[in-house]
Amino acid sequence: MPDVIWSVLIDPHRRAMLDLLRERPRTVGELVDALRLSQPTTSKHLRVLRDGGFVQVARDAQRRVYTIDPAPLAELDAWLAPYRRLWNDRLDALGRHLDTTKEN
Amino acid sequence: MPDVIWSVLIDPHRRAMLDLLRERPRTVGELVDALRLSQPTTSKHLRVLRDGGFVQVARDAQRRVYTIDPAPLAELDAWLAPYRRLWNDRLDALGRHLDTTKEN
DNA sequence: GGATTATATGCCTTGACCAGTATATGCATG
DNA sequence: CATGCATATACTGGTCAAGGCATATAATCC
């Protein structure tokens, strides 16, 4: 699990960007408007997302259109996988308990 | 999605602690040995994990036994959920493609 | 109860990150 | 080709977190 995945995701603005890009690709200007950040700050966050492999860029004249790339998030999902049984076990036990008590 | 979840998980030592505590509960001393960290540093990381709700403590004489609490990780899993379809769609498409080509 | 073991906290320094301002780059259009 | 629009980078100041060392707290044992 590379540290860079976490260092990218720790920033709330970058997570907000991913939330927006999950819906559809957007230009830098759209993101600036949506996030109420300055344009340079937005561009810097996009740089971090790019370097981390979370987004890809396409040119459209002067505009740059950013698209989400889910690969690093899939890695995060894989990291989380072995923990998942910890709460699934609990829920299973709860479910069994409820099923059992319902029979009475 | 509270920021504290991310700020806890960004540190590699804390993630290593969670990996260890996923197997079984451990004392502070065991974690110090396993992580090759100083005892104060280890205690400080455990404080952060405690405050974030990632672990729980039980007293055993002078020892403190730490146990993992998966609740915040379940929250992380929930945050990840809407993104999951991004790579599932890709895999589904790949799967359909393979199924189709196999028929020829 | 004094020494020892196990753990927690305080203080300090260092390094990283974020946001703002200014500036640079690059495309487009009259 | 000069001007304007869209985006990227450089530089800077302020904030915060991590680790080291010293010390405090608390339980045990002789």
Strand partners, A65: A27, A58
Q: Which residues of A touch B77 (CB under 8 A)?
A: 80, 84
Strand order in the sheet with A63-68: A26-27, A63-68, A55-60
Summarize pLDDT for B26-50 with one digit per residue, the tens.
999 999 999 999 999 999 999 999 9
CB pair distance less than 8 Å for A10 and B12: no
Write down the pLDDT at residue A101. Answer: 66
- Burial of B68 by CB count in 10 Å (0-12 exposed, 13-18 middle, 19+ buried)? buried
Measured from the Cβ of residue B80, the count of other Cβ atoms closer than 10 Å reads: 15
User: Is strand C in 7 Å reach of the CB of A46?
Assistant: no
Put simply, the answer to whether B10 touches A15 (Cβ < 8 Å) is: no
* Confidence bin at B84 (pLDDT 50/70/90): very high
pLDDT of amino acid B1: 86
Q: Report whether pLDDT(B104) > 60.
A: no
**CB burial readout A2-24, b (16+ within 10 A) else e:** eeebbebbeeeebbebbebbeee
Tell which residue, B59, B61, B78, B62, has the closest CA to residue B70.
B78
The answer to whether B87 touches B47, Cβ cutoff 8 Å, is no
Sign of CA dihedral A7, A10, A16, A22: positive
Nearest to B82 among A1, A22, A74 (CB): A22
pLDDT digits (tens, 9 = 90+) for A22-38: 999 999 999 999 999 99
Q: Which helix (H) or strand (E) holds B72?
A: helix B71-102
Neighbours of B90 (CB within 10 A): 13
Q: Give the closest residue to D22 (Cα–C1′).
A: B40
| pTM value > 0.85 | yes
Split at pLDDT 50, 70, 90, the class of A102 is low
